[in-house]
Structure 1
Amino acid sequence: MEKQTYYVSVQAKTITEHRGDAAYELEIEATPAEVHRLYELFESETETDLNNWIRMHSPKIIEEELVSHAFVDQHLTEVYRLLYKLGTSKTKSHIQSMNVLQGLQNGYTDDF
């Protein structure tokens, strides 16, 4: 399948085909299947956010909080790995400057 340009906002969890449709932080080149995977990651993150909000009102917060933070960190890393893989050179450079992915600052990009 042929790739096309998409505009992504990690904060808003949006992916658009047209630059002016919504605010965005990153530009990627992706197939429809790759975009679908990114949507799945965003949906999962939204579910995690909701579950975290619900758990905040539970007395068992401390133990669960540590597990939740680890999951959120792992999940966000997966989002940025995919964005790095699909990103334009400008997007890749931006993600490298954010220092959110281990190994990028040392030039290890084979796993991404």
Structure 2
Amino acid sequence: MKKTYYISIANGEISQISTTSPWNYKIEASDEEIIELREYFDQIYSTDWQGFMRAHVPYIEYHHDPTNDAYDETMQKVFQLIYELGDQEAKNLISEQGLLKKD
């Protein structure tokens, strides 16, 4: 059974209440789909910390850093999943902002 969730990308929040904090996207998702999205947010948090540590090593360039590649790849998975589960406004916003890479 699918339920309505409100997603905040900046802080990786998933809520069923639209008024608790600002949100970016409204989706309809099953428990399994929410678990998948939560895992992506957890990966982003972990990769973000690795990137923070890398930022203090000045000789590694951004475009040669596998940590940044992992972050970018996981963000693509987040936006793809939100696009698939999102309402029409979420789909439009993701499309208009060009957040999905075209293969």
TM-score (norm: length of structure 2): 0.89
CA distance in 1, matches of 2:62, 2:25: 35
Deviations, residues 50-79 of structure 1 (Å, cap 9, x unaligned): 011112223552378532222221111111
CA separation of 1:63 and 1:38: change in aligned 2, threshold 3 A: closer
- Residue 109 (structure 1) aligns with: none
Aligned-pair identity (%)? 27
User: 1:61-72, aligned counterparts within 5 Å?
Assistant: 61-62=60-61, 65-72=64-71
- Residue 49 (structure 2) aligns with: 50
CA RMSD in angstroms comes to: 1.7
Q: Give the greater-gyration-radius structure (CA).
A: 1
Paired residues in the alignment total: 102
Which fold has the larger relative contact order, with Cα–Cα distance below 8 Å and residues 6 or more apart in sequence? 2
Q: Which amino acid aligns with 1:72?
A: Y
- Residue 36 (structure 1) aligns with: 35
Structure 1 unaligned spans of 5+ = 104-112
Structure 2 unaligned spans of 5+ = none
